[in-house]
Structure formats: C-alpha cells, structure tokens
Structure 1
Amino acid sequence: MSPVPTVRGPYAKSAERRSRILEAGIRVFAAHGYHAGSIQRIADEVGISMSGLLHHFDSKAALLAAILERRDELSLEFMDVDSHHGIDLLRALIALTAYNQSSPGLVELHCMLSAEATSADHPAHDYFVARYETTVGAIETAFAEAADAGQLTAGISPPEAARDVTALMDGLQVQWLLTGGAFDMAVLLRAHLERLLAVPL
C-alpha cells in the first residue's frame, strides 16, 4: 500500500500560518475584546507584517468570523445535534464543558465577545443571537425527548430548563475564569442536569 501523501511546500506553510493567526486572534480578542484588540497586535504576535496577515484574512471582521467558525468546529466534535438526542446530547454537553476547561482561551473569548456582542452594531451580534437560539433550541429538544422517554423529572418544563442550563453554563464560565479554574465546571453541570432528570447521566 502506498503511504498517505502529506501536504508540503507553500500550501502547508500557508495552512500553518493561518492556524497561528487564528490562535493569536483568539488570545488577543479574549484579552482585549474585538474593538480594542488590533490586527496589528495579532500580526506582531505571529511575527508577520500587517500585509502578511491581510493576505490570509482580508479584514478584522473576516478574522473574527474565522475564529468563531473554528470555535464552532471544535464544539461540534462533542455536541453534534444530528447524532446526539435526548440525554445523549446532555451527556455531550458535559463532555464539551470538560473540554472547554482545557482551552481557557476559548472560554475567555466566549465570555468577552458574547458580552460585547449584545450591542447591535457589533460584528458578532447576529452570530451570537443565532448561536444562543440554536443552543437553547437543541437543549430544549433534548429535554423534550427525555420527557417522552420518561427520563425527565415530573413538572420540569423543557423550554425553561433549556434557558436555565444555558444561563448556568455561562455563569459557571465567568466564575471559573475569575477563580483561575478553581472548580470543575463539568462536575457542577452534571450535578445540575441530574437534578432535572429522573435517571443518572
């Protein structure tokens, strides 16, 4: 069998540089926010010129969009609504929370940008509106499916539980960052979900 070919040359270097720009963008936007985080600072972190950065991302907004897309790709590795249903999706939510703890930069980015993006003129405003709608909807569906399977505690409303869990996750992330990661978010999320369910996770 022939060996699997590897990507070499300028294409590999270009992909590597693009990845480094995204990582630097995550750090800068997480630390300074979108408006105060300049693309010059990002270029400096990568060690390239401004024109070099703009060769890969033609604007600051395009770079932000790529960062958010990358974050969603990582999330989908854990929480794919097409393949997870009912309490399986809730288990995936716990796994995603555990993963996030290994990437504090992404947690900080989410907290910073979601707060900034409440302003209607922020370039990520529509993204976060849609993202929260999708997230709450997926969790609500998971609770409704759990109810249909007799796995939800009597009296629990799936729409209310979905909002509750989403708010809990956001609040835990802020506290986790402020305490320097002093507690396990996934453990607390699991405990809360099990109080809403009639079966263990």
Structure 2
Amino acid sequence: MILHIKNMVCNRCKMVVKAELEKLGFNPISVELGEVSLSENISADDKINIAQKLSHFGFELLEDKKTQIAEQIKTTIINLVHYTREPLKINLSSYLSKHLNLEYSTLSSIFSEMENQTIEKYFIAQKIEKAKEMLTYGELTLSEIAFQLNYSSVAHLSSQFKKVTGLTPSAYKGETVDKRKTLDEI
C-alpha cells in the first residue's frame, strides 16, 4: 500500500515519518519524499491514527488524487532544485511529464488549480530559495550559483532574484535579517 504525505521536503522528514510509522507498528518498505510504501494494506482506523500522529509534525495524509499529483510535482521540483547535482538537460515540462507519466498540460492544470500558482512560478521560487541558501553560505560566486541552478547567465539569475525577493543578490547578501523560507512555505 502506498501512502501519499504532504509536506515531506527533506531527508529529516523521511526519518521522522519512518520512525513514527515504526512506533505505530508498521514496517515501511520505502520512505521517499511525499510517499511511503507499506507491505500491508491498512484499515481506515490505522489511517486515522497515522494521520493524527503525523499531523503533530506538520505532515498530512493525502487522499484526493489531484492533491497527490500536485504534491508529487512539488516533490519532484524540490528534488530537482535542492538535491540533484546534474543540470537539467531537457525543459522542465518534459522532465515532469517523463518523471510523473502524465501529459504536461494535465500536470499544469492540476497544479494551478490546487496551488493557485503555475508550475513555472513554483520552480522559480524554489530556485531563488536555493540561490538564497547558497548566497548565505558565501562559498560560491554568483556565476557559480547561476551555473549550478541552470541559469543562462548571471543577469538572468539576478533579474529573477530581484523580481521574487525585491533585492539584488548582492543586496540580499548584505542584509543581516535572514529572509529564507522553509521549503514547505514556498
């Protein structure tokens, strides 16, 4: 049985979900961002117990198919932007269609309906959040950050950065207040 879980955005989330399921007596086969595979089917009462336990940590069981697809899109984008080192060699729409086995028009329509924003805006927001993280660490130049985030130029990154944050990357780096968001807040 597969459970779809909202707000799983990092490896610590996976560890927490796995630990909580084990405390409830389940042995997950695999725990991935947004999805848990269990070897056995679970009852409605078990689902309620799991939902209540996970809600204490900010997670939510997803029952609706559209909500599941929107979460899968978000998870795929988060993985792509924050955890994949390889540059994207195809456009985002082809990548998502291939990865999720659905036409992009379907994915785009569902995502916009469920999240009240386009996939592209969400993707840009994730990339800018990653840029903010990299700027905060100060280990890379803006050129290196632009390259790692698959921007065509530093100017393109700077333009999107300012559009999203209201600051240039240099101004952001000089700010003393941390304006970063957690991945599930984006």
Band of TM-score, shorter chain: 0.3 to 0.5
Larger Rg: 1
Per residue, is there more strand in 1 or in 2?
A: 2
TM-score, normalised with respect to structure 2: 0.38
Of Structure 1 and Structure 2, the greater helix share is in 1
Query: What is the TM-score of this pair, normalised by structure 1?
Result: 0.36
